[in-house]
Structure 1
Amino acid sequence: MSWFSTLEQAPPIEVFDLLKQYPNDDFPQKVNLSAGAYRTNEEKPWVLPVVRTAETALLNDEKVNKEYLPILGFEAFSKLATRILLGDDSVALAENRAFGVQCLSGTGSLRVGAEFLATKLGKTVFYYSNPTWGNHRLVFLNAGFKDAREYRYWDAENRSLDLNGLLEDLNNAPEGAVIILHACAHNPTGCDPTQDQWREVARVIKEKKLFPFFDSAYQGFATGDLDKDAWAVRFFVKEGLELLCGQSFAKNFGLYNERVGNLSIVLNNPEKIPAVKSQITLIVRGMYSNPPAHGARIVHYVLSNNELYDQWRDNIKTMSSRIKEMRQKLREELERIGAPGSWNHVTDQIGMFSYTGLNAAQSQHLVKKYHVYMLSTGRISMCGLTPSNVEYVAKCIKETLTEIPA
């Protein structure tokens, strides 16, 4: 007898399955547009110069040891991370009603926050955008939520935000439902609300007594400006809304495998902070006990040093500028060769990803015939485009659209 005899094979996770296939492909012109990780013009990972500097300093600091961090993590890091999100002039910080908890990157921050809402505040219903990052639904259901619902977001015909559908779905949401919102650089569409549209979203959430949970994976990485990319979160706070926000430092610090994250929590009553911290302490204790130190120390070292902080902001601009440049080059090339359809959405979108408008059959055709690795949703990572491969990618997209019309 085997207790595992009835266990079935789980379906593969598409993006990681593509990443596994890519290195074994010997096609000379292969292109990887699947991975959500920054690449240079030479298709190489980039360790930020400020990260190298911080790691060298930490290595030579004999006071740094390998002792456990507290359960809620490196507090000095969390304070700086929360301040970057909310801003130096944040009313919530001035009134001591906001704090952060170090977690395992953005995913871990979402999971800890979701489990807190489900098990301690009794939340059962959550909404996520259609489409959204592929892990949102799984994280929240595994954390204890019972009812997963979608709100309309992407207008496929016009390749833009479906604001009316979004607002209608939020208006119909039950009181107390948790609404997952992308702080900036919406994944996978790259389509963000304008500030006026964010005001409309905040108004409905406030009127309908919904609970906003922001996912901030790309602050600074989207526009190159930390403040612009945090505008939506800061506006919600100014409107008096309580909220959670999961922050990731994978993209904007290039610390993908260090799992550096922060869960920022904004309350209206600062007297409840000790109770919230105590409950989150129990959640973390039963999940992973305490977080790793190295990545958080790197981020703290940079954020607490004015010179390195300025250098980091320059590093962010370098990354965001290259992505914008490749957006422009891809659009120009698609238009130059007469690829079917309109391509203004490529440059209208923002951040790491572009929702091309290609359907599943077309996307899979690009993978199988042309060795252009991308998700079946039509999402591509702009970081995989370079000056040396953008013409090939555009040509393959045109031929695919000709061979497999929508």
Structure 2
Amino acid sequence: MWTLTWIIWIPLFCSLGFCEAQQRPVFACGGNITGLSGLIGSQGYPGVYPPNTKCVWRITVPQGNVVSLTFRALDLENAALCRYDHVDVYDGFINGQRLGRFCGTARPGALISSSNRMQVVMVSDANTAGSGFLAAYAAVRPNARGKRYCGGLLDKPSGTLMTPNWPERDYPPGVTCSWHIIAPEHQIIELKFEKFDVERDNYCRYDHMAVYNSMESSDAHRIGKFCGDSPPAPIYSDGSHLFVQFVSDLSLTADGFIGHYAFKPKNFTIAGSPPPVISAIPTTSAPIALTYSEDLCKQKCRRSGTIESHYCSSNFVLTGTLFSAAMREHNVLATFSITSVYKEGNLAIQQAGKSMSTKVLILCKKCPLVRRGPNYIIMGHVDEQGQGVVSPHNFVMAYKTKKQRELAVLNNVRC
């Protein structure tokens, strides 16, 4: 009786559509994917993914839509910075902005592209562990709102942008959100933040929000990079586009932010003054010296100008402690342990854990005169090898706490 019941029950169960093992899709290594929605998965999912592979999925949805990708399962070898097995998600195809790199078992929030294309790349090394990933893609409208999504195209006269899960809980790890705000041709964009709480770091290397005066992320057009729990000062575009990008890594998270934008006429001013973020600072007229000369070092050593007047004319601006100084015949090779970077340029910065340092060549060993121990504000130029160079014309002074706010304001200036 028991045997008969069991034999009859199995076919009935499968005939009702519940025999999932017989209907599970077979996932190959990459491919070109089209359609309104569907699933992609690592090769052989949910079995252990193969070693030494690189699989590329190119997802295209109909024009006029963007791609939303949601991970339903993630189980890859876990490592710091996901340097072994990982899944990369890109906005678009070739040379697209990377939206995130993922490994381990912590699933990111929904990822959304800025166009109708998205690329997913999975890489495994010789040692594999886990069942890989399963993700669902869907075509959504660019202005789709809702707590599952973040980013998109914003072209209404005013609106709001917020991190995923706001305000109920912290934003998720491993997510990238990109908002492209487009105003009419003869208007600019005002962006204000009501609340702001993003993982704090002196250099905003981990979770951060960056704002660009362009249609995409571009270092040449970056207005500022923000983190911590203090809302940025109001931000103003210098044209009809702003690109706002929020990135969270795979570790700590926080409340996130809510911001509001509005279109303004180009001649818009605050209390009769130009918008502070896009106002340029006069540059110093002192010549730039990158090599030693006897005449240069014979000049009387006297600091001229102010932090403000030197900021835009300097390639790099940082605060740091003089850690070591190698004395040479005419100059000093100084190593600074960095406290904060306000302007980096192409300066070569060494990093060990969370400690950062840089080498700066002081062309004239007695001007500016620095000694080991104190904390300094250092402004200078960068040579072709990425080394900082400071001449008597540059601005160097002992750091004082009251200067922190002044430097923070300058950090939002577009030179």
TM-score tier, shorter chain, comes to under 0.3
Structure holding more strand per residue:
2
> TM-score by structure 2 length?
0.21
The answer to which structure, 1 or 2, has the higher relative contact order (CA under 8 A, 6+ apart) is 1
- Which structure has the greater CA radius of gyration? 2
Structure holding more helix per residue:
1
